[in-house]
Amino acid sequence: MSGKRVTFKNLWLAILLILPQLFLVFTFFYWPAGEALYWAFTLEPPFGGEQQWVGWQNFETVFADPLYWNSVKRSLLFAFSSTALAMGIGLLLASFVDRQLAGYKVYRFIYFWPYAVAAPAVGLAFRFIFAPDAGFVSAINVWFPGLWNPALDGFDAMVLIVLANAWSMVAYNFIFFLAGLQSIPRSLVEAGAMDGAGAVRRMRDLQLPLIAPTFFFLIVINITDSFVNSFGIVDITTGGGPARATDLMVFKIYSDGFKGKDYSLAAAQSLVLMLMVCALTFIQFRFVERRVHYS
Footprint of other proteins on 71-90 (CB under 8 A) = 89
| Residue 244 DSSP one-character state | T
Residue type, 154: G
Q: Does 234 bind other proteins (CB under 8 A)?
A: no
Residues of this chain, 135-164, that bind other proteins according to CB under 8 A:
135-136, 138-139, 141-142
User: Nearest distance from residue 120's CB to other proteins, in Å?
Assistant: 5
User: Nearest distance from residue 218's CB to other proteins, in Å?
Assistant: 10
* 3-state SS assignment for residue 264: helix
| Residue of the chain from 41, 176, 177, 215 that contacts other proteins (CB under 8 A) | 176
Q: Which stretch binds other proteins (CB under 8 A): 47-55, 68-76, 77-85, 225-233?
A: 225-233
Q: Which stretch binds other proteins (CB under 8 A): 58-66, 78-86, 152-160, 232-240?
A: 232-240
Q: Does 112 bind other proteins (CB under 8 A)?
A: yes
With contact defined as beta carbons under 8 Å apart, do 115 and 172 qualify? yes
| Residue of the chain from 86, 161, 231, 246 that contacts other proteins (CB under 8 A) | 231
Rounded to whole angstroms, the Cα distance separating 46 from 32 reads 23
Rounded to whole angstroms, the Cα distance separating 33 from 27 reads 10
Q: How far is CA 88 from CA 47, 49, 241, in A?
A: 53, 53, 28
User: Nearest distance from residue 46's CB to other proteins, in Å?
Assistant: 20
Q: Does 295 bind other proteins (CB under 8 A)?
A: no
Closest by CA position to 232, among listed 250, 244, 214, 217? 250
User: Nearest distance from residue 70's CB to other proteins, in Å?
Assistant: 19
Q: How many residues bind other proteins (CB under 8 A)?
A: 110
| Residue of the chain from 47, 113, 144, 155 that contacts other proteins (CB under 8 A) | 113
User: Nearest distance from residue 82's CB to other proteins, in Å?
Assistant: 15
Q: Does 228 bind other proteins (CB under 8 A)?
A: yes
| Residue of the chain from 11, 46, 259, 290 that contacts other proteins (CB under 8 A) | 11
Note the Cα 98 to chain centre separation in Å. 25
Rounded to whole angstroms, the Cα distance separating 74 from 93 reads 28
Note the Cα 105 to chain centre separation in Å. 27
| Residue of the chain from 117, 159, 188, 212 that contacts other proteins (CB under 8 A) | 117
Q: How far is CA 68 from CA 57, 60, 61, 74, 295, in A?
A: 15, 11, 10, 10, 43
Rounded to whole angstroms, the Cα distance separating 238 from 236 reads 6
* 3-state SS assignment for residue 150: coil
| Residue 53 DSSP one-character state | E
User: Nearest distance from residue 47's CB to other proteins, in Å?
Assistant: 21
